[in-house]
Amino acid sequence: MTTIDHKTGQLDDASKPLWARYRPGHHWKNAAEEFDGCKLGFWLFLATEVLLFAGIFVAYAIFRAKYPAAWVEGSSQLDWKIGGLNTVVLLVSSFTMAYSIYCFQTDKIKKGQQMLLATFVMGGMFLVLKLCLEYMPKMTGYFLAFDPALSHYTDLIVHDHAKLGGLLQYVEGYGGKAPGKYFTHGFASDVNIPLWWSVYYSGTAIHALHVVIGMTMIARTYFRSFKGHYGSGHYTFVEMTGLYWHLVDLVWIFLFPLLYLIH
Amino acid sequence: MASAHAQGHSHDHAHGSYLTPKGGFWTTVLDWATTVDHKKIGMMYLVAILFMFFLGGLAALAVRTELFQPVRVDAQTGAITGQLLANWFYAEPTMAQGNDVYNIAFTLHGAIMVFMVIVPSIPASLGNFLLPIMLGTKDVAFPRLNLLSWYIYVIGSMFAVGAILLGGVDTGWTFYTPYSTSTGNEFGKLTLMVMAAFILGFSSILTGLNFIVTVHKLRAPGMGWFDMPLFVWAVYSSAIIQVLATPVIGITLLLLVFERTFNVGIFDPSLGGDPVLYQHFFWFYSHPVVYVMILPGMGIISDVLAVHSHKKIFGYRAIAYSSLGIAAVSFIVWGHHMFTSMSELASAVFSGLTFLVAIPTAVKVFNWISTLYKGSIAFTTPMVYALIFLFLFSIGGLTGLPLGTLSTDLHLHDSYFVVAHFHYVMMGGTIMALMAGLHHWWPKFFGRMYNENAALFCALIVFVGFNLTFFTQFYLGSQGMPRRYASYIDEFTSLHQISTYGSYLLGLGFLGHLFVFLHSLAAGRVAPQNPWGGLTLEWVAASPPVEHNFDHDPVVKHGPYDFETTVPPGWTPDEYPIPAENLRTAGSH
């Protein structure tokens, strides 16, 4: 692709990669100013995200103060090992994301792409763990056959209800911890347990949505990087993607202890 | 200031104003629909917002029409009289149907006016157009986000109109739980309305974010923070609030949607939830946001008062800092919306904090009045509207004090006194400032003058109509008329009828303004570059500005209000009402 340099009117050197031919928007003085502006804008956007989650945290704090027994009972039903594993996954993915930015800044394009891919895969792993090991058993009572948590409930497994050739095993009386009006779990001792699950699902689902948004940004960066959009001369969107991914990580760093660890 | 105005016709991309069509009809439509030019986006916002203002105004007139007569059940015949609004929809409405129609009408009025008119009105339309030009730059920091925010606004408004067409909602504009968790949701209309407010929040955040970065990064060479016009300061302050407060309403409305679709119980007391939590969340956004509504208006007033009295603004820094002060205080006073649902201690604390707002606000008002003192005042329409603003906003502000005082609020809360107070600050404040700004910058927007005498006449009608409508409501409220009731005791009838007549007059005044504007577009005198003698950068640009705002990048060499020492661009010294020996020409030192 050949582009025209708006400032000089000369045809650009098509042999150079796209990032070396990048021109800032016409209202910016230069690319460095544009980068600073984008970064300021993105930090402001991250501030709005923090305030969005602040609502969830305030709701958590208020209901925890009002119904401490429900909160203790609720959080004791979460498995810290799955949450902890997810924490590790996100932390490592934050490292690969940061490393990817460094790679693009120093023109190690290939390495940067690999790191982006690794970040994307770990984001996917987080979602799979959340959906298959947490949401699905809690809502439906079905466990994956190889879920280690299944070993706690060997007596309660109903083999007649197994699905997908035994891949999904049904545990009697475990499911039904669905949000709001779909909550049917009969064994709660505290009347406010549904509220705990409401806060749990609201918080984790909105966080999971952010994981998906972050993965979409990573995917876009990944594919565009093959066309030569990012390198030492221009890596704005890579950096923004990284900032966003760290926010996703950060929110989980707060959600994990609040939901899983504090009893 | 820029010494380069009106001489750069040979420069390349400088031909033609931004309004010049790009080709045939559909090419032009497509050009506008995909434009990233802040001027076009600002004007598209203006049209969209004025349309919603029209819809919200119709709903207001419907509310006032219903209140012309109290709803009564005749003791002998059992017939219901006075259901003027419901009679349009039902042959013989029952009491419940009649009340529903009334509740829907005031909800529509409130929701449309707050979320779709007053919040975006000045920043998104006038701000979008003027902020980059006043800063001497070609565009806002993120032009594509700017266009996106307009589309999000339109989609949000369409959701709201959709909810109306599906039957409307009757929760009040605040969507308080349990109204919003228990009342009818046929076809998902309530969810649609709540989603509309949620979506509009995104538009608001994007606009605010864009403005903050623009102000930080794109000021013209030579323009320090304290060389910015006060309008920019005000829009900047309100942008901070938009960015920091709007996400909280976002999560609140999202949780409300969850509540509605899954019954998650966070706000529903029967499921263990807490309706007061909703109020805290809601007002944590909605109180700061009333300053999003008023601050840009205050910015307009600062500019208009200085320009039309040809006098340096009194206390520039005080006005600039007071905008930031209002923005800061706005976040810690939300509790005064819910004195009756908090502990006495919390109420007392919030009451005390509420009075803090009076300080930066009074700083502004006193500085404005000092600006007028010994000024060379021209009674143009913008100036008259600015004076109307001062009058009405002062009443609105002062009647806020008895509402912030616990002992008096106990009697006045949830009464028409609150309604009147709110309309004096929001309509008497923001909308009057919008009218001042629209007239002030109209020649710049469209390159046409409006008919001054006709506009002044309409302003007079609006002023009289406004006071008839809302001053009566102070009386009604102090005598015990509760808000949001379709019926009232006979003693209130005459005051309600005066208020209704006033609202018709008010509507007539705005209709008159519409005709003045349309006439100006069709047959108005061609506007000069600088009709009022302003010194800020928008008056250096052509009327209407060229595509990239300036023929040459402007360089700022004097303050925005140095009227005593500088001849405005596009003026000659003998046209100027200040002795020539005191003056220098724009651009020279």
Give the pair of three-digit tokens for residue B517. 């504007």
pLDDT tens column, B63-91: 999 999 998 888 888 888 888 888 888 88
In a domain, A211, yes or no: yes
Length of chain B, in residues: 589
Within a domain: A11: no
What are the Cα distances from residue B326, in Å, to A107, B353, B357, B362? Answer: 47, 12, 6, 11
Q: Give me the residue from A25, A48, A180 closest to B247, CB to CB.
A: A48
Tokens of residue B503, six digits = 């609202």
Nearest to B271 among A47, A58, A195 (CB): A195
DSSP one-letter string for chain A: ---B-TTT-PBP-TTS-GGGG----TTSSSHHHHHHHHHHHHHHHHHHHHHHHHHHHHHHHHHHHH-HHHHHHHHHTS-HHHHHHHHHHHHHHHHHHHHHHHHHHTT-HHHHHHHHHHHHHHHHHHHHIIIIIIIHHHHHSEEETT-GGGGGGGGGEEEEEEEGGGTEEEETTT----SGGG---TT-SSTTHHHHHHHHHHHHHHHHHHHHHHHHHHHHHHHHHHTT--BTTB-HHHHHHHHHHHHHHHHHHHHHIIIII--
Q: Does A160 reside within a domain?
A: no
> Which residue from A33, A181, A202 is facing B263, i.e. has the nearest CB?
A181
B212 CB within 8 Å of a chain A CB = yes
Give the structural domain span for A240: 50-141+176-261
Residue B331 in contact with partner chain A when CB distance is under 8 A: no
**In chain A, what percentage of residues exceed pLDDT 90?**
54
pLDDT value at residue B9: 39
- Please indicate, yes or no, if residue A169 is contained in any of the structural domains: no
Least confident of A95-109, A187-201, B131-145: A187-201
Q: Which residues of B touch A59 (CB under 8 A)?
A: 255, 266, 277
Cβ contact, residue pair B264, A55, below 8 Å: no
3-class DSSP state for residue B180? helix
| Contact check, Cβ <8 Å, B281/A55 | yes
Q: Which residue of A has its CA nearest to B264?
A: A180
| Residue contact B272–A195, C-beta within 8 A | yes
- Give the per-residue pLDDT at B5: 41
Give the tokens for residue B362.
Answer: 């009074």
Phi-psi region of B110 (alpha: psi -120 to 50; beta: other; left: phi over 0): alpha
Distance from the Cα of A43 to chain B's closest Cα (Å) equals 10
- Is A14 within 8 Å of chain B by CB? no
Tell me how close the Cα of B242 comes to any Cα of chain A, in angstroms: 10
The pLDDT assigned to B15 comes to 60
CB-based contact (8 Å) between B22 and chain A? no
Domain of A125, CATH number, reads 1.20.120.80
Residue B117 burial by Cβ neighbours in a 10 Å radius (0-12, 13-18, 19+):
buried
Digit-coded pLDDT (tens) for A133-163? 888 888 888 888 787 777 777 777 787 877 8
* Mutation for A interface: B36, B39, B253, B271, most A CBs within 10 A: B271
Q: What mean pLDDT comes out for the span A102-112?
A: 95
pLDDT in tens, chain B (589 residues): 333 343 333 344 446 889 888 888 999 999 999 999 999 999 999 999 999 999 999 999 999 999 999 988 888 888 888 888 888 888 888 888 888 899 999 999 999 999 999 999 999 999 999 999 999 999 999 999 999 999 999 999 999 999 988 888 888 899 888 888 777 777 788 889 999 999 999 999 999 999 999 999 999 988 999 999 999 999 999 999 999 999 999 999 999 998 888 888 899 888 888 899 999 999 999 999 999 999 999 999 999 999 999 899 999 999 999 999 999 999 999 999 999 888 899 999 999 999 999 999 999 999 999 999 988 888 999 999 999 999 999 999 999 999 999 999 999 999 999 999 999 999 999 999 999 999 999 999 999 999 999 999 999 999 999 999 999 999 999 999 999 998 999 999 999 999 999 999 999 999 999 999 999 999 999 999 999 989 999 999 999 999 889 988 888 888 899 988 888 888 876 666 665 555 555 544 4
A252, part of any domain: yes
- ipTM confidence score: 0.89
> DSSP alpha helices (H): ranges in B399-492?
400-404, 406-412, 416-425, 432-446, 452-478
Residue A164 in any domain: the answer is no
Q: How many CB pairs under 8 A join A and B?
A: 122
Output the CA torsion sign for B410, B415, B417, B418.
positive
d(CA A130, CA A124): 10
CATH fold, domain B22-585, is Cytochrome C Oxidase; Chain A (1.20.210)
With CB atoms and an 8 Å threshold, state whether A51 touches B244: yes
- At A166 the pLDDT is 77
What average pLDDT does range A245-253 have in this prediction? 96
CA dihedral defined by B359, B362, B364, B369, rounded to 10 degrees? -160
Residue A81 lies in a domain: yes
State whether residue B210 sits within 8 Å of chain A by CB.
yes
Nearest CA distance, A189 vs chain B (angstrom): 14
How high is the pLDDT of residue A183? Answer: 79
Q: What is the pLDDT of residue B3?
A: 39
Residues 66-95 (A) with a CB less than 8 A from some CB of B? 66-67, 70
Number of domains composing chain A: 1
Residue A21 in domain: no
pLDDT of residue A7: 55
Nearest by CB to B142, from A41, A62, A194: name it.
A41
